[in-house]
Copies of this chain bind each other. A is one copy, B any other.
């Protein structure tokens, strides 16, 4: 049953297709857009078209970039090009950059191996990672996929794949998060934190 004019219904349906947006929220967003001045609504539409048109994947690290050629991180002379941090998503790059501690390069897989969701190694940007490692300048590859089953499996798969190239392959440390409370830490995390304990010097 449809109570809205077709153009409004169409907009509501488009919003409802977005992840985490239900029908009620989609309605609210559509009404909000209708209430905006003409030029602001047009600016929203153009932001979508513009992003879709000008954003592409960096040919080196596969992170999102604007324009042709390698992204600003890959082409920066200040970054350590012997170090590659392998992440699943562009938003993971943002998390690392925010910490301002990492000065190596990245490689974005755009997903993790997930047989349940029919994502195999060929659906990820793995071939280009192997080519980068094979080129010879890389000395260490840090696996920074999420610490869940699929992230672990992907990290294991990649580390086996990269072994023939005699590079160091490492994994992010497990342990208790900074600022958390021990009583709320789960068993697996506590066990890993014990295993990975370091001497206080």
Contact = CB atoms under 8 A, between A and B. Distances in A.
Contacts of A90: 31
Contact of A47 (B3, B10, B43, B64): B10
A41 B10 CA distance: 14
B48 A33 contact: yes
A19 B47 CA distance: 17
A11 B48 contact: yes
Contacts of A7: 47, 50-51, 53-55, 66
14 contacts: A3-B93, A3-B98, A7-B47, A11-B50, A18-B33, A20-B28, A27-B94, A31-B89, A33-B48, A34-B64, A36-B52, A41-B48, A41-B49, A41-B52
Given A3-B98, A11-B51, A13-B47, 10 more contacts: A6-B66, A7-B47, A7-B54, A10-B47, A31-B90, A34-B55, A36-B52, A41-B48, A42-B52, A48-B48
Interface of A: 1, 3-8, 10-11, 13-14, 18-21, 25, 27-34, 36, 38, 41-55, 64-66, 71, 89-91, 93-94, 97-98
